[in-house]
Amino acid sequence: MLKDWLKPVEQGPKHDKVCSARNGSAATGDWIIENPTFMLWREGKKSDLWIHSKPGSGKSVIFSTIIDKIRSPTCLLAYYYFDFRASETETTAGQFLASIVWQLARGSNHCFRRLLDYHLQNGLKDDPPTYSQFLECLYFMLGDFADVYIAIDALDEFASETWEKEILHIYPLLVFTCFLQVEERMT
């Protein structure tokens, strides 16, 4: 019911595909875990982590390594792989937020209940939420959490010219209640 309403883009298959690019070694990219900037971010002493590099340099593989290293039963994690090869509907702010909201709801009974409450309180039936409703729902779901990881790969491949307004609009929420990990291409 909720998944049909949100219509999220599933990220698991994308993550599995990138993980398979590690050339069969789960240790590929482990150097990032020892990086001082990464360690500050992981310890909560730095609220965001940006990784910049040339196209094709393996940032998505590094990203998948980070996802695998921080994933645990006690960690609330959502991630998104933007991809310029994906359909335009997979690279919108709405699809990004739908996927983040759905992953958080699947990862936490509390978030799932909050999402269900939000859905019922707003009388939303079949139409997927608007961008504003997704933002409101995300704030509603995360209001009680201190440690949430939201990771974004290839932010520069976001389809909209207004990505700063649309995606970075949630940045204040993430800076104060979440750890944000973002990767993008250098131009």
Q: Are 102 and 3 in contact (CB under 8 A)?
A: yes
Nearest CA to 32 out of 67, 79, 74 is that of: 67
pLDDT, residue 12, reads 94
Which residue carries 């707003």 as its tokens? 122
21: DSSP letter: T
Evaluate if residue 15 carries a pLDDT over 80: yes
Q: Is 14 helix (H, G, I), strand (E, B) or coil?
A: helix
Which pTM value belongs to this model? 0.84
Read off the pLDDT of residues 132-177 as tens digits, 9 standing for 90 and up.
Answer: 888 888 888 887 776 788 888 887 776 666 666 666 666 665 544 4
Range from 25-29, 46-50, 134-138, 163-167 carrying the lowest mean pLDDT:
163-167
From residue 34, alpha-carbon distances to 39, 47, 70, 71, 106 in Å are 7, 17, 13, 17, 30
Task: Give the C-alpha separation, 176 to 178, whole Å.
Answer: 6
End-to-end CA distance of the chain: 41
The whole-number pLDDT of residue 167 equals 67
Going from the N-terminus, what domains does the chain have, and what CATH number goes with each? 2-185 (3.40.50)
Q: Which residues pair with 77 in a beta bridge?
A: 149
At 182 the pLDDT is 58
